[in-house]
Amino acid sequence: MYWYAPWLYGYLSPDKQSLLSYGNFGAMIEPPEWWYQLNLIVILVIYAGLFKFREIFRWLYLFVTVFLLVTSPIYGVSIITGIEVFITGTSTMLNGFILALAFYSPLKEKFLLKNQLIG
């Protein structure tokens, strides 16, 4: 969700806004703008599937989380504000928390039970 933080840059000085425009500088791959919207839609669909305890969505969540973490170094220089650091760090911790609950807590039984009832 922090991809939409640049909309809040209006409160920053023009110098700081100019510095932030160098994000992704030197990237091996510079993703198009639609990539971020697609990520948002995929994550929201996965959250809905997790909320319904569907087995496939916990594996998709694991895959997407690992994929986004592993590919992050190819996006070049990251220049972000303090609030973005806070949001990113919190999001990463929540991802780990959700994965731990889905795979290593008694909640994993709900995913398995739901899968047996459907399949």
pLDDT digits (tens, 9 = 90+) for 37-67: 898 899 999 999 999 999 999 999 999 999 9
Is-contact 115 49, C-beta < 8 A?
A: no
The Cα–Cα gap between 61 and 54 comes to 11
pLDDT digits (tens, 9 = 90+) for 70-84: 888 887 777 778 888
pLDDT given for residue 117 in this prediction: 57
Per-residue pLDDT reduced to its tens digit, 6-25: 556 667 777 777 777 667 77
Token code pair at residue 54: 């569907």
Taking Cα atoms as reference points, which of 111, 14, 113, 25 lies closest to residue 74?
25
Cβ atoms of residues 30 and 76 within 8 Å = yes
Q: pLDDT-based confidence at 1, cuts 50/70/90?
A: very low
Amino acid at 32: P
